[in-house]
Structure 1
């Protein structure tokens, strides 16, 4: 393994028998983008503690972009370099491939992304992206977001006070389409604080949302689907702690105002919601309550979802609320006090 600074000459490339992996060390005041552009598959771009004023676009596979665990590397907006589409879109870090050539096995870890007009971290057309130990805070839209991607792993991150979802995963954001198979994406052990929604999963199938904490948001977890085919769902939401998501957020063209929503399913099928602790989410929105089933904004019902073995207490207007027209959803083994309709507890 060879360490190289930005000004160092690249080592001779003799890779016929053994891969040469390089560490590109970046100091505050130096360009992260320059180091990323110089990197080859398998390399690491290592950020020293300090503040970096730029946006960073990653398009090479098998790259690690990380800070030191012992001291924070903080990425904030700076002058937009010519041709940097990540910066002009208002994002902090972009990991982007194409449909024919997705970016594979990129890791982003142990750094902070703060204050971008749109998204802290934005990913599109990726495979096996890992985002670990990242703090994304005070960004205008999403803290950490991904579309058109598979097998992502988002773990031990903090998303704090972002304008929309702290952590957002979707099939696609620029057109209506059926749900995509995420091929086992995992969202786990994250802290989601003071966002509009803690975690949004939109038009996806085959993923797990587990062991996250969501508090101080307008809503904790949203699983969003519609009438498109395949339908959203076939996922598991388990062992999360969703509490006191009582921030007030105004209505949007798709949703009424939000306040006091724990876990909400809209237009989903075959989703298992189990062994979560959902407490003290209080509001008067049509979507308020501990665990809520609600028809999608186009009227698509929830179908064949299973809500079982959850602890759901002190939520208002109900701990469990089935405000949907779907008839095949089941509630069993839950510990709760008040349900709509009565008899679900």
Structure 2
């Protein structure tokens, strides 16, 4: 049988084209169909509804890109591992849909997320990031490690989620880009409410997040409200941070590229005076508003920072501090912030880095003097 491409040059096709002059639209469609073949089937987005007592994991495993796994009101004592792109996991109510750990048992954990002590995991690889996953409108609480832990994601959105009383981090990401973390509450978690890092277990230079956004979140009662560790190119905006040991940490080290290009703007950072003991990597902390350590080329602007007071070397409203490995903070701009009643001072520059500037800040006390 001749290939259709041969017929395209035959007299038969010429006669056919003359007929098409009479019925142009119909014949054009016929020719296109014969040349290109049938169109591929279109996936219709599905909603997989899960009720308490049913397996969220089974619904997630059955979902395709564009699908939503919808959790109805109730408590789900289980963990969920998400590895497919384009899937949305959401509850019908943030307060009414709760994920908590499964009861202790001698049986093997049902998935790697549960085995690690996490609530929801979104897991990609270095070779293939998981793309465009959304988690929304639910609570993750009481897990021994993290409420949500995402690795190697692109375009992850976490919104209207409460992460409370988890052993380490409320919401944590590593090796991820273009994330959006908006309108969440993280409270009373063992370490950071929101933790964003290049990688947790390896030493390497900072990762470009390609514009990750952390916005309009409420972070309270954690060790640190938001930790940004060894990352570049992201924005923290319009968050409310209170009752943590520290509000915001931007952390770098000696690796290249260096952490930086972080914008911290329009946040309210109030009375972060909880006391936390020293750890292997960090001094005791209390009363820290924003701390930059080993970071470069960042902008700290238009924040309201009040009532953060403590006796730690890291205490104060906005603090520049040399990193644990001695890396200096350089070329950071601290401008147009309003600071009141922070102790030992509103602005503290305890770093030896060059090119850091303090401009138009409304404050009353600084160390050294003259920064206000």
Q: Does TM, normalized by the shorter one, top 0.5?
A: yes
Q: Render the CA deviation track for 1:67-105: whole Å, top value 9, x for unaligned.
A: 013762100000576550000000000000111111000
Structure 2 length-normalised TM: 0.88
- Say whether 1:141 aligns with 2:165: no
Gaps of 5+ in 1: 1-13
- Which of residues 221, 227, 231 is equivalent to 1:204? 231
| 1:47-58 matches, cutoff 5 A | 47-58=71-82
CA–CA distance in 1 between the matches of 2:109 and 2:280?
A: 35
Q: What is the correspondence of 1:1-345 to structure 2 with a 5 Å cutoff?
A: 16-69=40-93, 72-78=96-102, 82-345=109-372
TM-score (structure 1 length as normaliser): 0.94
Residue number in structure 2 paired with 1:6: none
Larger radius of gyration between Structure 1 and Structure 2: 2
Q: How many Å separate the matches in 2 of 1:157 and 1:175?
A: 28
Q: Distance in 1 between matches of 2:86 and 2:75?
A: 25
Could you list the per-position Cα deviations for residues 81-132 of structure 1 after superposition, in whole angstroms to 9, with x for gaps in the alignment? 6550000000000000111111000000000000000000000010000000
Distance 1:23 1:46 in 2: 7
- Where does the alignment leave 5 or more consecutive residues of structure 2 unmatched? 1-37
Residue 17 of structure 2 corresponds to which residue in structure 1?
A: none
In structure 2, C-alpha distance between the alignment counterparts of 1:15 and 1:176, rounded to whole Å: 48
- Provide the alpha-carbon RMSD of the alignment: 1.3
- Secondary structure of 2:189's counterpart equals coil
Any idea what SS the aligned residue of 2:283 has? coil
Aligned residue for 2:22? none
Q: Is the 8 A contact 2:94 2:137 kept in 1?
A: no
CA distance in 1, matches of 2:356, 2:58: 53
Return the alpha-carbon distance in structure 1 between the equivalents of residues 304 and 371 of structure 2. Answer: 17
**Structure with more of its chain in helix, by fraction:** 2
SS at match of 2:236: strand
Query: How far is 1:136 from its partner?
Result: 0.3
Distance 1:118 1:279 in 2: 31
Aligned length: 332
- 3-state SS of paired residue (1:265): strand
- Segments of 4+ in structure 1 off by > 4 A? 79-83
Q: Distance in 2 between matches of 1:15 and 1:114?
A: 46
Counterpart CA distance in 1 for 2:79 and 2:261 is 36
> CA shift at 1:189, angstroms?
0.2
